[in-house]
Amino acid sequence: MKKCKQCWIVMSLKSNSQLFCSRVCRSDYNKEKLRNYRNERQREKTGKYEPWKIQCLICHNRYHKVCTHIYYTHKLTSREYKEMFGKDVGKWILSEKVFEKHSRKNKENKDIVWKNLEKGKKHRYKKWQKGVGVYSRSEETLERLKNLCKYKN
C-alpha cells in the first residue's frame, strides 16, 4: 500500500519509485518544500530566536549552524571563535536540530564511525571544522564524543 506524498491518497502501484498520484501533487509538494526552505533560510539570516538554536556570542543572534554564521558574518573560523570564548575546542557547536540530523544520517555506519574515532582518524570532520581533529584525543575526549552522539535533550 503506497500513499501519495502530497495528498495521502492510496495509489495503485505502477512503479515502486512513484511518490505522487499526479503531476499536480508532485509540483504542489515541490512548491511547498521550496517555500519551507526559503522561510528557513530567511529565519536563519535574521537570526530569529528559536529555542533549539544556538546563540552567537558575538552578535547574540541565534542560528542552527553557528560555525557557518561566524565564518561568513564575522570572518572567524570555528576554532578562532572557540578560542576567543574559551570553548572546548573538541566540542561541536551545532544546534540540537542539526546535530540530530547528523546523527540520524550516521546511524547505519555508526560502528564504522566509532572504530574510526577510536583510531583517532579525522573521518568525521568536515571542511569547516578543519583543525578540530588536530589535537590528540584523550580517553576523556572520546568519552565525550560518544556521549554527544547519544545526546538527547
Binding footprint of Zn ion on the chain (CB under 5 A): 4, 6-7, 21, 25, 56, 58-59
Nearer to Zn ion, 81 or 99 (CB): 81
The CB-of-73 to Zn ion minimum distance in angstroms stands at 5
The CB-of-26 to Zn ion minimum distance in angstroms stands at 8
Q: What is the dihedral of CA 136, 79, 37, 30, to 10 degrees?
A: -40
The CB-of-38 to Zn ion minimum distance in angstroms stands at 22
Nearer to Zn ion, 58 or 89 (CB): 58
Nearer to Zn ion, 71 or 114 (CB): 71
Q: What is the dihedral of CA 57, 52, 148, 60, to 10 degrees?
A: 0
Measure the CA–CA gap between 92 and 100, rounded to whole angstroms: 12
Number of Cα atoms under 13 Å in the Cβ half of residue 102: 19
